[in-house]
A and B are shown apart, each in its own frame.
Chain A
Amino acid sequence: MKSRIRRRIAAAAAASALGLAVSASASAQARTVNVSAASGTFTGSRQYAYYGYVKVQVVLASGAVSGIRIMEYPNDNGRSHYINSVALPYLVQETVGGSTWKVDLVSGATFTSMAYVKSLQAALKQAGL
């Protein structure tokens, strides 16, 4: 039972990492945890993500993730600034998919998502799952 729940949560976490629908739901009060059917709101630890900290809260209903709320995440600076328009250059467009290739290294913004997963894991551990 416990491992099945863990798998379900892992699937939910994976789904959220994929950008699928995981909405922040209204937070419920934390309740006593029943390992086989944990319900309530659990907050993960703050995880260092270089540009700041990430902290997530997970809402469980009978052992299934019903919502994940991002409590804290690193902010970008200067979003509201205005930039002078440059002449529109010729840009190329393509649709991207996803593949697994053999490469030497990978460039990507991974720090936030890694901290996210760690904080989520901490929240789930707190829920006894």
Chain B
Amino acid sequence: MTRTEIIMGMPITLAIPDREAMDRPGALLPTLEDAAEAVFQGFRDVDERFSPYKEHSETSRINRGELDPQEASREMREVLVLAEQTRAQTDGFFNVRHKGRFDPSGLVKGWAIWRAAQILDNDGFLSFCIEAGGDIEVRGANDQGEPWVIGIRSPFDPSLMIRRLRLPTCGIATSGTYIRGEHIWNPRTGTAANEIASLTVIGPNVYEADRFATAAFAMGRRGIEFLAGQQGLEGYMVDSSATATYTPGFARYLAA
């Protein structure tokens, strides 16, 4: 079963092998459809609570001084703690406060996917993928009972992939941009040469992968070195000259 919805301004896809409907002792557990609905509702709730673009979100209320973060919801307080942790672990490259405003967006996407995975975990699902805006929590095995096959999108052409990976249970996230300031950069003429086009991170789960992809991307070329020095994280960086640089441990995920 595969289902996609647009929530938080991005496509969110849930893929569950059909065998999961049979493999689980069904009587007491939700159906695939019910579980999927719970997952998507979780994303809608996160959007309502955390979006800096929704007037009544907790994020907006904190920014207007109407809500003391200490009195915010349990979810918001959890994200605030995680944000502070991430800031410390990334030498300040990851900061939910900038220019005097609070914006947890860089952390919330990965966290929301990870939470959605926990919903399925609790319902006894062993194999699934949850993808939101290109970041994926990967669990178990695909429809064929083999490791999930995940492509890395080309930063030069969104219709193409530059690599194909076979992934065990893990999280994968890609940070990147096609647009820099006022120009669209040109890999062929070398405009903005050596700029990082995209950075893919594989970690123990999508929350870890996403926050370190965001932070390491902001570090520029040093990001890949930073990742190489982190336990449990592997990175694949593509620069504007179409050269990929990856951590040695990333090689084990590369499919021919």
Residues of A within 8 A of B (CB): 16-24, 47-54, 68-70, 73, 76-79, 81, 83-116
Contact = CB atoms under 8 A, between A and B. Distances in A.
B88 interface: no
Q: Is the interface of A mostly helix, strand, loop or mixed?
A: loop
Contact of B177 (A95, A96, A112): A112
Given A78-B94, A108-B158, A101 B177 contact: no
B149 A19 contact: no
B15 A109 contact: no
7 contacts: A47-B9, A73-B179, A77-B93, A86-B225, A91-B248, A104-B150, A107-B136
A109 B177 contact: yes
A92 B245 contact: yes
A98 B142 contact: no
B3 to A, nearest CB: 13
A54 B226 CA distance: 30
Interface in B111-152: 129, 131, 133-136, 142-143, 148-152
B178 A19 contact: yes
Given A16-B184, A52-B105, 11 more contacts: A76-B217, A77-B218, A83-B222, A91-B247, A99-B160, A105-B15, A107-B134, A109-B174, A113-B158, A113-B179, A116-B179
Contacts of A52: 105
Contacts of A109: 133-134, 153, 155, 174-178, 198
A116 B133 contact: no
A111 B10 contact: yes
4 A-B pairs with the lowest CB-CB distances in the bound complex, closest first = A108-B153, A98-B160, A109-B176, A89-B228
B9 A115 contact: yes
Contacts of A116: 178-179
Contacts of A101: 149, 151, 161, 164
A18 B157 contact: yes
Contacts, number: 219
A25 to B, nearest CB: 11
A66 B149 CA distance: 40
Interface centre among B13, B177, B214, by most A CB within 10 Å? B177
Interface stretch (B29-37, B57-65, B66-74, B236-244): B236-244
A16 B198 CA distance: 17
A76 B199 CA distance: 14
B153 A96 contact: no
Contacts of A113: 158, 178-179
Contacts of B219: 83
B178 A107 contact: no
B176 A92 contact: no
Contacts of A100: 159-161
Nearest to A96: B162
A106 B188 contact: no
B119 to A, nearest CB: 19
A87 B179 CA distance: 31
